[in-house]
Structure 1
Amino acid sequence: MTTKNNNDQFPKVQGGGSLILAWQVRNKHVLVVGGGEVAAGRILNVLNADAKVTVVSPSSGLNPEVRHRIANDEVTHIDRVFQPSDLETLPPSDGPPDMVLVAVDDPAASTQIWKLCKEHRIPANIADVPPECDFYFGSVHRDGPLQIMVSTNGKGPRLAASIRKWIGNQLPAGVGDAIERVGELRSKLRRIAPNPEDGPKRMRWMTRVSDAYSWDEMCGLTDEDMENLLTFYPPSKVPQLDMLKAMRGGWTPEEIDVFDGSFGFSVVA
């Protein structure tokens, strides 16, 4: 017999949510059924994630944005209605799609495609029909590598968009650029400390670096600054920004300590 532990130190389970993930669809094959406004938004979402997209829709149902994608060879277009065989072989890969997005004004046809996707074990999203979705499209704020998604589990898309706009307005300018610089620094760090056993130290040092500098300061780091910053990794130190600026031009920390200002040398470039 077990006794329930009501210890409040552990978070309580809140059912009814969705598992929000960053789904990597780079080079995956996505089938979009439909060519209207909703389909255009879906197409842009997956193209932004570097997916390979095939659009199945009669030309008469294409809106201007989807026509633009087709004309610029950003997607593959099949000029007809959906066929069940599309879930088995589809250009350009001539194989089954990895994901299906349905955006057509035909509830019966949409449900049929959903059922077929279940039979083929292909994840699918049926626009505006939450019960027939393996996943939802939230409202996303994008700033370079930064992506923030707001989801209402399909219950209030308009409200999600309003919340997303509010969050975006609260973020400081240059956040995306700062994250880009952090990413570059991490890549450089992996090159000088590539071994798996270096992982914990890398993570601790990058955490300290991220906490040490503001968004604006991170954006302002030059390539030379980052190379100089990496010299502090072996002893697990993080210098002040003034030190990094003073090291520009080939100065070493030891030289800067000697010329500390009493001889007319300024440590702030």
Structure 2
Amino acid sequence: MASHISMLTATDARSHIHLVIGSNPLAAARCGQSLGAGALPILLAPETAELHYALQKRVDDGEVKWIKEVFRDEHVFTLGREDVGHVVDAVFVTSGPREPLSAHISTLCRRNRIPVNVVDAPQLCTFSLLSTHVDGPLQIGITTNGRGCKLASRIRREVAASLPPNLGAACLRLGEVRRRIQEEDHLLHMALADGDDVDDSIDQSASFNKLVTEADLDAAKNRRMRWLSQICEYWPLKRLAAITDDDVSSILKSYEDMGPAESIGNSTSNSNPIDRGRIILAGSGPGHPDLLTRTTHKAIQTADLVLADKLVPAGVLDLIPRRTPVHIARKFPGNADAAQNELQEMAIAAVREGKTVLRLKQGDPYIYGRGGEEVAYFRQHGLGDKVVVLPGVTSALSAPLFAAIPPTQRDVADQVLICTGTGKKGKPPAPPEFVASRTVVFLMALHRVEGLVGELTTSLDTEIPKPEEGSREEQPQPRRKLWPLTTPCAVVERASCPDQRVIRTTLAHVVEAVEQEGSRPPGLLVVGRACEFLNEREKGRAWSVEDGFRGLDWGDGLG
């Protein structure tokens, strides 16, 4: 039987009126759920009905209004709020699908577009209730779309048990950051509109006498919002859950003057610092913490300070002891170089204090990780003898493996080319030419995949030579062999992480696929015939999507 998925929404039910039909324990539960969401439940049951004790208590306490009548059609049109014409906002039928009245109520509600839920009858429902974990403002809902409420409850308990404590409180604090950014932005725009001077207590730098424009304010707001987004995206959940009011203040302050980033957790150094500092430049691998080298894992456990790139996987950051200060790079478009310099300067300062600094990078430091630049920088500052570089498993080679793509499959591909999709300062790099037996892996490419596909499949103006004088050639040929649009390719995102995703398609459809499916960074693009060797495309489908990664679960029980 074909399955379906629901469009999950979060409904603001405050002051809504929910009609609950029945007198059994489920009716009591539905009334409790309505009250918990701020709605006003109305119980509809005959006067002769024997109410469940929990339901009777809610009625006696005045929480639930009991209409002591048998259901009539007009009830759904007369018991609701005045501002919506007295139509109820939702109907809950608790008597089950075998009761003939259940089907009648479902038909009535569907005809009038009133949300209806009938217990144990997905075919009669227009909405279902999720098995929900609640922690303050944080709600996590699980549904199996009618395949089993007990199973949904089990999955919900497993998900909730895996979460760090106090995550709901962290949502409150981070929500406060967002609110304050928006509030300060509003005040600044009002001041600018009125022609007044900006209050010196609000987001003022040392250069406050310069002309401030709307564009300046928008840039400042967007800069801080991007930083907040990156905190939510890249910090491990355990560290997010431990966020404090002081951390919130430091997040806001960090963009008042672009000063040094504040760390999360204990800011004190290790109680036993080494006499002579050093810098360990290490790769964290593609995502799964089990793919770290043993040397890098040891460095994580013993470093006095960790300076991490923003894409270092959360599972790896979770291994850092809570006592160790951690700084995560504030990299976003337009600030990459400044963030890089900031971390390098922090590393130098810590080394001179005799600390062991772990400079933690995604993948391998020397594969598009700017590792060589950092080593050169430390050498220029007289610290070359204090730098140790540790390799990491690069996603350029491991991500295809986790996506079941053999880049050098015999008789299909005899070479692998690793390229960047974005050159220095964001400029497009020179595209590689088409070679039928080549597999190309593009890193840092998905944010400009449309431009990259265009560069691979069409000739560039700079590639078309001008005909020499007297030449009979009217249509000069491009110097580079172009990639056919039919070339198989795959987008591999968050390789080896639980939320790994693989989109399999061709160059003709990859742009549309990425636009429709959305982005799940970090990711890369694999191009070449090897993409289809173990994954034959289904005819008639432009692309397919595979979610999840369980490739290392078998090792969980190994001692």
Structure 1 unaligned residues grouped into runs of 5+: 1-13, 247-259, 261-269
In 1, Cα distance between equivalents of 2:111 and 2:18: 17
In 2, Cα distance between equivalents of 1:82 and 1:233: 60
User: Which of 227, 230, 251 is 1:205 aligned to?
Assistant: 227
The answer to whether the aligner puts 1:40 opposite 2:28 as a matched pair is: yes
* 1:221 alignment counterpart: 244
Deviation at 1:134, TM superposition (A): 0.4
The number of equivalent residue pairs is 235
187-196 or 105-114: which moved more?
187-196
User: Which of 140, 151, 166 is 1:174 aligned to?
Assistant: 166
Opposite residue 239 of structure 1, the aligned amino acid is: A
Give matches, 1:117-156, under 5 Å. 117-156=109-148
Native 8 Å contact 1:28 1:98 kept in 2: yes
Any idea what the Cα deviations from partners look like across 1:165-216, whole Å, max 9, x if unmatched? 1111111111112112112222222211237957744531211333457645
101-110 or 122-131: which moved more?
101-110
In 1, Cα distance between equivalents of 2:171 and 2:70: 43
Deviation at 1:244, TM superposition (A): 10
Opposite residue 251 of structure 2, the aligned amino acid is: L
In 2, Cα distance between equivalents of 1:28 and 1:41: 17
Opposite residue 87 of structure 2, the aligned amino acid is: P
Give matches, 1:109-124, under 5 Å. 109-124=101-116
* Identity percentage of aligned residues: 29
In 2, Cα distance between equivalents of 1:47 and 1:235: 47
The answer to whether the aligner puts 1:58 opposite 2:50 as a matched pair is: no
Opposite residue 88 of structure 1, the aligned amino acid is: F
Structure 1 moving runs of 4+ over 6 Å: 242-246
Deviation at 1:122, TM superposition (A): 0.7
Q: 1:62 to 1:212 in 2, by over 3 A?
A: same
More strand by share: 2
Q: 1:245 to 1:124 in 2, by over 3 A?
A: same
Deviation at 1:132, TM superposition (A): 0.3
Deviation at 1:49, TM superposition (A): 1.6
In 1, Cα distance between equivalents of 2:143 and 2:63: 28
In 1, Cα distance between equivalents of 2:4 and 2:236: 39
Q: 1:171 to 1:90 in 2, by over 3 A?
A: same
Q: 1:23 to 1:167 in 2, by over 3 A?
A: same
In 2, Cα distance between equivalents of 1:213 and 1:120: 46
Give matches, 1:66-77, under 5 Å. 66-77=55-66
SS in 2 for 1:16: coil
Deviation at 1:136, TM superposition (A): 1.2
Opposite residue 205 of structure 1, the aligned amino acid is: W
SS in 1 for 2:74: helix
* 1:23 alignment counterpart: 11
144-153 or 190-199: which moved more?
190-199
Any idea what the Cα deviations from partners look like across 1:221-245, whole Å, max 9, x if unmatched? 22x6534532333456782237998
In 1, Cα distance between equivalents of 2:264 and 2:5: 46
Deviation at 1:35, TM superposition (A): 2.5
Q: Work out which of the two has the higher radius of gyration on C-alpha atoms and give 1 or 2.
A: 2
Deviation at 1:124, TM superposition (A): 0.6
Opposite residue 244 of structure 2, the aligned amino acid is: L
More helix by share: 1
Native 8 Å contact 2:224 2:252 kept in 1: no
Any idea what the Cα deviations from partners look like across 1:75-128, whole Å, max 9, x if unmatched? 222122222111111167581101111112561011111111123221111111
In 1, Cα distance between equivalents of 2:240 and 2:147: 40
**TM-score (norm: length of structure 2):** 0.38
Q: 1:197 to 1:75 in 2, by over 3 A?
A: farther
In 2, Cα distance between equivalents of 1:242 and 1:86: 56
* 1:253 alignment counterpart: none
Opposite residue 117 of structure 1, the aligned amino acid is: C
In 2, Cα distance between equivalents of 1:239 and 1:51: 44
**TM-score (norm: length of structure 1):** 0.74
Q: 1:92 to 1:21 in 2, by over 3 A?
A: closer
In 2, Cα distance between equivalents of 1:133 and 1:26: 22
